[in-house]
Amino acid sequence: MSIAACAGPFPQSTLSPTSDFGHSIDHLFRGIFWWAVGVFVVVEGILLFSIIRFRHREGAPAPAHHHGHTTLEIAWTLAPALILVFIAVPTVRTIFETNVAPAGALRVEVTGHQWWWEYHYPDLGITTANELHVPVGKPISIDITSADVIHAWWTPRLGGKRDAIPNHHNKIFFTADSVGDFMGQCVEYCGASHANMRLRTFVDSDSGFQAWVANQKAVPAVPAKGSPEEAGRADFMKYGCIGCHTVAGYSNGPIGPNLTHVASRTMIAGDIMMNTEQHLRDWIANPPGMKPGSIMPNLHVSQTDLSALIAYLQSLK
């Protein structure tokens, strides 16, 4: 376990937690792990010793026929029972501790979709996708559900996962203890592109988070007349993008990710590609080719319109 924790960067490691929730689980797991190592050494030790010590030797007398031993049976029933007490007590304690809703938590509503994540901050009036921003050192309350099939939301370094189930609401509570960018992904099989349903959680400094909130609340300006951005904005309607995507002040599409501030995100397409001009081009030109099963179809956008669309999307900072 220590070897794995030391080598190379492991952005989704469960062994280097950075939240109170993650630390509780890690502490519990390490305790159980060492009990398991102890039992492992005893059982495999006796097994190997017996194989070597009691190997058949020619001419040796037939072994005595022991049919059992009551004291031994009682002993090896009670020993594991006792060890399990040392595992069960902290387990139950941790279950209840990690299920207590912290007071004054920032609420985020997470909705799983095939194959992307929707984030809604009910107290801030912000809706975004795939990249979650939370402030460091503040309790966070995540409410998880799904719009279609079952998914599971997981940012390993911030703690355990919870399933996103339609008509159910699951909670995760955590307080992140360091600023950073933490990878995660959907961890319940949800169809063709389950592997491409990734996510990123940004733990921001207090001021960084405030700045992000202010930016997300702003309504994008209408592009100047005659600019490529303006042409792209028109194409956004021409190709029917508005039917699925919301851009505040312009469209109200309820199907795909909210694009109001898409240019402020680091990744696109369910967090599988960097948000660059080339990747936007590849993505819009053939979504199912980039992400198997993608509900966004290939709209056969002409090269000129594609450049304009990308200019528009990149203006949505």
Partner 1 sequence: MSEATGLKSWLTTTDHKRIGKLYFWTAFVMFLIGGFEAELIRIQLAKPENTFVTADTYNQLFTMHGTTMVFMALMPLAAAFFNYIVPLQIGARDVAFPRLNAFSYWVFLLGTMFMNASWLLPHHPAPDGGWFGYATLTERQFNPGPNIDFWLLGLQILGIASLAAGFNFIVTILNLRAPGMKMMRLPVFSWMTLVTSFLMITAFPVITVALVFLMFDRVFGTHFYLPAAGGDPVLWQHLFWLFGHPEVYILILPAMGVVSEVLPTFARKPLFGYTVVVYSGVLIGFMGWGVWSHHMFSVGLGPIADSVFALTTMLIAIPTGVKIFNWLATLWGGQIRLTTAMCFALGFIGLFTIGGLSGVTHASPPADLQQTDTYYVVAHFHYVLFGGTMMGLFAGMYYWWPKMTGRLLSEPLGYVHFWLTFIGMNLTFFPMHFTGLLGMPRRVYTYSHDLGVDDMNMVSTVGAVILGIGMIVFVYNIWRTRTKGAVAGPNPWGGATLEWSIPSPPPVHNFDVIPTVTSRLPLWDSAPAPKTPPGHIHVPGGSWWPMVAAAGLPIMALAPLTRTLWVVFVGGAVLIYGIYRWAYEPFEV
Using the rule CB under 8 A, is 59 a contact of partner 1? Answer: no
Residue 116, classed as helix, strand or coil, is strand
Q: How far apart are CA 280 and CA 266, in angstroms?
A: 12
Three-state secondary structure string covering 231-290: HHHHHHHHCCHHHCCEECCCEECCCCCCCCCHHHCCEECCCCEECCHHHHHHHHHCHHHH
Decide whether 24 or 251 has the Cβ nearer to partner 1: 24
Using the rule CB under 8 A, is 11 a contact of partner 1? Answer: yes
Three-state secondary structure string covering 143-161: EEEECCCCEEECCHHHCCC
Residue 296 token pair: 């966004």
Q: Whole-number minimum distance, CB 193 to partner 1, in Å?
A: 6
Provide the mask over 16-55, with x wherever binding to partner 1 is found by CB under 8 A and - wherever it is not: --------xxx-xx--xx-xx--xx--xx-xx--xx--xx
- Binders of partner 1 among 219-248, rule CB under 8 A? none
Identify whether the C-beta of residue 186 lies closer than 8 Å to the C-beta of residue 194. yes
Question: Which member of 18, 19, 185, 201 binds partner 1 (CB under 8 A)?
Answer: 185
Using the rule CB under 8 A, is 60 a contact of partner 1? Answer: yes
Taking CB under 8 A as the binding criterion, the range among 6-14, 124-132, 229-237, 276-284 that sits at the site for partner 1 is 6-14
- Binders of partner 1 among 62-101, rule CB under 8 A? 62-69, 72-73, 76-77, 80-81, 84, 87-88, 91-92, 94-96, 98-99
**What amino acid is encoded at 299 in this protein?**
L
Using the rule CB under 8 A, is 186 a contact of partner 1? Answer: yes
Q: Total number of residues binding partner 1 (CB under 8 A)?
A: 92
Using the rule CB under 8 A, is 274 a contact of partner 1? Answer: no
Question: Which member of 102, 139, 163, 307 binds partner 1 (CB under 8 A)?
Answer: 163
Q: Whole-number minimum distance, CB 218 to partner 1, in Å?
A: 31
CA-to-CA dists, residue 205 to 35, 136, 180, 212, angstroms: 39, 6, 9, 10
Question: Which member of 112, 156, 220, 256 binds partner 1 (CB under 8 A)?
Answer: 156
Using the rule CB under 8 A, is 106 a contact of partner 1? Answer: no
CA-to-CA dists, residue 38 to 41, 43, 169, angstroms: 5, 9, 39
Pairs from 48-56 (Cβ < 8 Å, separation ≥ 24) = none
